[in-house]
Amino acid sequence: GEDVEQSLFLSVREGDSSVINCTYTDSSSTYLYWYKQEPGAGLQLLTYIFSNMDMKQDQRLTVLLNKKDKHLSLRIADTQTGDSAIYFCAEGNSGYALNFGKGTSLLVTP
């Protein structure tokens, strides 16, 4: 399938902003998603963006999409210890399944 790439780890201090990056290769993507997985749990949809949008903001979360470079980012403002989790980027197109990245482990330190 098409590739979705993310860095594996990110560490930030509590109160700072976190930026998690993702690149994808499928130019026919229609939706791009960010999922959060807390330890021992399933994936929970955090937010999504349509491929014809550049930005979406939802409280502390900001999603930026650069369609030309096929680059997606998730910014978490005022990061808290409860934000420590694995974050997955995923892209969807005309098919049935989503293509997931391997996930970025975010560690928030006090």
Main-chain phi, psi angles of 35, to 5 degrees: -115, 150
69-98: which residues touch other proteins (CB under 8 A)? 88, 90-98
Among 14, 21, 23, 43, binds other proteins (CB under 8 A): 43
Alpha-carbon distance 105 to 71, whole Å? 19
Strands 71-76, 61-66: pairing is: antiparallel
Using the contact rule CB under 8 A, the part of the chain among 16-24, 32-40, 52-60, 76-84 near other proteins is 32-40
Find, among 15, 4, 45, the residue nearest to 110 by Cα.
Answer: 15
Shortest spacing between CB 22 and other proteins, in angstroms: 12
Instruction: State the amino acid at position 109 in one-letter form.
Output: T
Catalog residues that contact other proteins under the rule CB under 8 A: 1, 8, 29-31, 33, 35, 40-45, 48, 88, 90-98, 100-103
